[in-house]
Amino acid sequence: MPGGALTPLPPGAVIGILGGGQLGRMTAQAAASLGYRSHIYGPEADAPATQVTPLSTQADYTDQAALRDFAKAVDVVTYEFENVPFAAAETLARYVPVRPGPGVLHICQNRLREKNFCNESEVPTAPYAAVADLAALRQQVEKIGRPCVLKTAEMGYDGKGQAMIDRDSDLEAIWPSFATAAATSGVILEGFIDFRLEISVLVARGMDGARQTYVPVENHHKNHILDQTIVPARVTPRVADKAEGIARHLAEKIDLVGLLAIEMFVTADERVLVNELAPRPHNSGHWTLDAAVTSQFEQTVRAIAGLPLGAPERLCEAVMKNLIGDEVASAQAALTDPNVKLHLYGKAEARPGRKMGHTTKLIRRGT
Ligand code: AMP
């Protein structure tokens, strides 16, 4: 654990990955380069990650026997999304190291715990409050002020489970779709931040406590889904320093071993507010595959395997473009530009909103 000497997993060791999506796939590819094998665990058949490694278990996250067998078959467990049931991570942790630890997962899978953690760590966020019923909603909307955003504390992503509350919104009409969440995992009301830019920072922390941050990048969304990441973010050095400082601080405070992605809002007056944490490789870090010394996937594997971290430096400017749904049809045409790198995730069906792949355009001055 942090502070101790590094005793890396030997080549041939098995990395267990909970979740079989593209993040697991690219993590398994990086693991293979370092001489490790990967074993994918998840409920879906023909998941993208299972196409790049022969070891997989198709089972539910509540299947105790399958979880135990998986734990015995691997040397370390990580996860490629934070909505893995906490109980599954806890079960696995009884048999095998889980990195980042279950405590990190617990914080990052709930927006209220995430914001409480930031607050306790003296890192600024939007003003927020837990909301248990309609009366509390009325009260907190008065206090925080309109506009504000109501969100389910858990399981929301890409804008799902959210409602904007503006001047004319009828709280009584909005509340019913949040009542079930309020009674179970919770609901959070956040002040609306009139941000200038959305950025994210990746920070890795090794088993020896060493930390490396990647340059802040700028994220642009379409229909609530990440569309493009511009590298580096067009922010002042002061904002970049502040963002990287927050990332380093949170990695230490949360006792990270692995990779943490932090989404932040930057305001016109250069405040940097944390929006969300993800304890895993992140879509906004895909540029690192082609435009950084060490990719976020390799860095994740290095951190959880007890290897020294790699250099995070950016090699050139870059623009990452997600290929969502039908956009994948133009994937190969993008390669007519020789500075474009293509990554497809092996998904058969291009459903609307589905992340099928991405391109990274390398902007190399003088070429
Ligand atoms: P989230 O699921 O929290 O990442 O929210 C999805 C998107 O909604 C963010 O990327 C922002 O563009 C927007 N958003 C979320 N929360 C806020 C907020 N408190 N103020 C302004 N915009 C927000």
Residue 25, judged by CB atoms within 10 A of its CB (0-12, 13-18, 19+), counts as buried
∠ Cα 204 205 208 (to 5°) = 150
Cα 221 from Cα 185, distance rounded (Å):
27
Q: Where are the beta strands (DSSP E) in 128-236?
A: 128-130, 148-152, 162-165, 187-191, 197-205, 211-213, 217-222, 225-231
pLDDT (tens place) for every residue of the chain, 367 residues total: 444 557 899 999 999 999 999 999 999 999 999 999 999 999 999 999 999 999 999 999 999 999 999 999 999 999 999 999 999 999 999 999 999 999 999 999 999 999 999 999 999 999 999 999 999 999 999 999 999 999 999 987 666 789 999 999 999 999 999 999 999 999 999 999 999 999 999 999 999 999 999 999 999 999 999 999 999 999 999 999 999 999 999 999 999 999 999 999 999 999 999 999 999 999 999 999 999 999 999 999 999 999 999 999 999 999 999 999 999 999 999 999 999 999 999 999 999 999 999 999 999 887 6
Distance (angstroms) between ligand 1 centre and the Cα of 193 equals 8
Token digits of residue 137: 């909603």
Phi, psi of 155 (to 5 degrees): 65, 5
6, amino acid identity:
L
Measured CA distances, 201 to 61, 193, 266, 295 (Å) = 29, 19, 12, 14
* Structure confidence at residue 158 (pLDDT): 63
Q: Measured from the CB, is residue 8 less than 6 Å from ligand 1?
A: no
The closest residue, in CA terms, to atom 5 on ligand 1 is: 159
Nearest atom of ligand 1 to the alpha carbon of 275: 3
CA count, 13 A, side-chain hemisphere, 212? 24
> Rounded to 10 degrees, what is the CA torsion of 226, 230, 235, 238?
90
Q: Measured from the CB, is residue 67 less than 6 Å from ligand 1?
A: no
Q: Measured from the CB, is residue 275 less than 6 Å from ligand 1?
A: yes
Token digits of residue 200: 């994210």
Nearest atom of ligand 1 to the alpha carbon of 263: 4
Q: Measured from the CB, is residue 159 less than 6 Å from ligand 1?
A: yes
Nearest atom of ligand 1 to the alpha carbon of 126: 19
Cα 318 from Cα 228, distance rounded (Å):
10
Distance (angstroms) between ligand 1 centre and the Cα of 91 equals 33
Distance (angstroms) between ligand 1 centre and the Cα of 73 equals 39
Given ligand 1 and candidates 114, 118, 149, 154, which is best to mutate, with the most ligand atoms within 8 Å of its CB? 149
Q: Measured from the CB, is residue 154 less than 6 Å from ligand 1?
A: no
* Structure confidence at residue 365 (pLDDT): 82
CB atoms under 10 Å from CB of 113, counted, come to 16
Distance (angstroms) between ligand 1 centre and the Cα of 192 equals 8
Token digits of residue 189: 């009301």
Distance (angstroms) between ligand 1 centre and the Cα of 195 equals 10
What sign results for the dihedral spanned by CA atoms 100, 105, 109, 111? negative
Asked if residues 299 and 285 have their Cβ atoms less than 8 Å apart, the reply is: no
Q: Strands 37-42, 14-18: parallel, antiparallel or unpaired by DSSP?
A: parallel
Cα 141 from Cα 126, distance rounded (Å):
14
Nearest atom of ligand 1 to the alpha carbon of 193: 20
Distance (angstroms) between ligand 1 centre and the Cα of 214 equals 22
Distance (angstroms) between ligand 1 centre and the Cα of 361 equals 26
Asked if residues 321 and 358 have their Cβ atoms less than 8 Å apart, the reply is: yes
What sign results for the dihedral spanned by CA atoms 41, 60, 85, 175? positive
Q: Measured from the CB, is residue 149 less than 6 Å from ligand 1?
A: yes
CA-based nearest residue to 284, from 198, 196, 362, 200: 200
Alpha helices per DSSP H over the chain: 22-33, 64-73, 86-93, 102-108, 111-120, 134-144, 171-174, 176-183, 237-253, 288-291, 296-305
Measured CA distances, 176 to 126, 134, 151, 187 (Å) = 24, 9, 13, 12
Phi, psi of 247 (to 5 degrees): -60, -45
* Structure confidence at residue 367 (pLDDT): 60
Q: Measured from the CB, is residue 126 less than 6 Å from ligand 1?
A: yes
Token digits of residue 149: 């955003």
Given ligand 1 and candidates 275, 283, 284, 322, which is best to mutate, with the most ligand atoms within 8 Å of its CB? 275
pTM for the predicted model, two decimal places? 0.96
Phi, psi of 262 (to 5 degrees): -125, 120
